[in-house]
Amino acid sequence: MGQMVVNGIALFLIIVLGYLLKRFGLLGKADGTSLSVIILNLTLPAVIIVNLEDLPIEGYYLWLIPIAIVLTLLQIFLGKYFSRKESKEIQAFFMYGVSGYNVGNFILPFLQSFFVAGIPAISLFDVGNSIMLAGGTTIAVDHLSGKAEKTSFGQILKRLFRNPAFTTYLVMLTLRLLNISLPQTLVTMISPIAASNGFLSMLMIGLYLELRLPRKAMGVVGRSLLLRYGIGLVMVTVLYFLPLPSLMKVVLALAAVSPMPIFNTINAVLAGATEETVGFFSSMSFLLSLPLMMAVVLVFGI
């Protein structure tokens, strides 16, 4: 337990470091954008390759893929229901704010720091999560907001395969299903890149951190945060009592209290929410999720 606390504090301090570097003018948001390009295209795919390279595909863990899709849809519908009396822009903000799971930039670095056994399972969960983030969530939100545009299956596939993480997941899962292993030399060469993912992800979060919010937006942000983490904590409670494999329970519980995904922050702004509101919501979700995920680890006794 002591090591987990130390690692959790270390991750938090890296976020603080990123924020301070921005405050003192040594780095800026533009540098965070540059880091996100490196993470999404290099370090995150490297983590997926290294941790799925020897993954034994067990039938019940494949259920994590559709489970991620169903849970995201449930979050979206709850976001719509609890904001039904608001404007369409605020409804869209709620639906994007309360849905989705930040696996690549938050859960994976968290697990990398002390519980690598959970990485293959969360990676399978992230396949379904990526399907939603790459287009499924936007289609659902647009439909529920009355702004639905016709989207072809080909367009959805194109968006999915533009996502390096999803493409890497698909390739690695195919190799594992065919029982094909990558050359160990290649895995060894990729490992240092994968190892840097945690530090770069936390530093990027610090650079994106926004702690200022117009007073008029406080109520909307407060209610949406309460809804996101209310849904998450209910899910954690239910999981605790379900007769599921312990590793699956832990992975789903960590996902339940994870922060807002980066893709959803972008889409929320495109849907009409202000950058300040979305930035503050996203920042607060990062700060809330770290202690909650540490609490999940303690409760489930990893």
CA distance 113 to 10: 9
pLDDT, residue 95, reads 95
The gap from C-alpha 190 to its chain's centroid, in whole angstroms, comes to 23
Angle at 164 between CA 163 and CA 166, to 5 degrees: 70
Contact present, 254 and 122 (Cβ < 8 Å): yes
**Domain 2-300, architecture per CATH:** Up-down Bundle (1.20)
Low-confidence ranges of the chain (pLDDT < 50): none
Three-state DSSP state, 54: coil
Q: What confidence tens digit (pLDDT) does each residue in 2-55 have? A: 666 777 788 888 888 998 999 899 998 888 888 888 988 898 889 888 877 877
What's the Cα-to-Cα distance from 178 to each of 55, 165, 170, 203, rounded to whole Å? 12, 20, 12, 37
User: What's 178's DSSP letter?
Assistant: T
pLDDT, residue 228, reads 97
Q: Enter the pTM of the model.
A: 0.83
Q: What confidence tens digit (pLDDT) does each residue in 141-154 have? A: 988 877 756 666 77
Q: Where are the domains of the chain?
A: 2-300
CA distance 18 to 20: 6
Contact present, 277 and 93 (Cβ < 8 Å): yes
pLDDT, residue 273, reads 82
What's the Cα-to-Cα distance from 227 to each of 82, 233, 252, rounded to whole Å? 8, 10, 18
What's the Cα-to-Cα distance from 179 to each of 13, 117, 125, 185, rounded to whole Å? 40, 20, 20, 18
pLDDT, residue 30, reads 85
The DSSP string of 230-296 is HHHHHHHHHHHHS---HHHHHHHHHHHT----HHHHHHHHHTT--HHHHHHHHHHHHHHHHHHHHHH
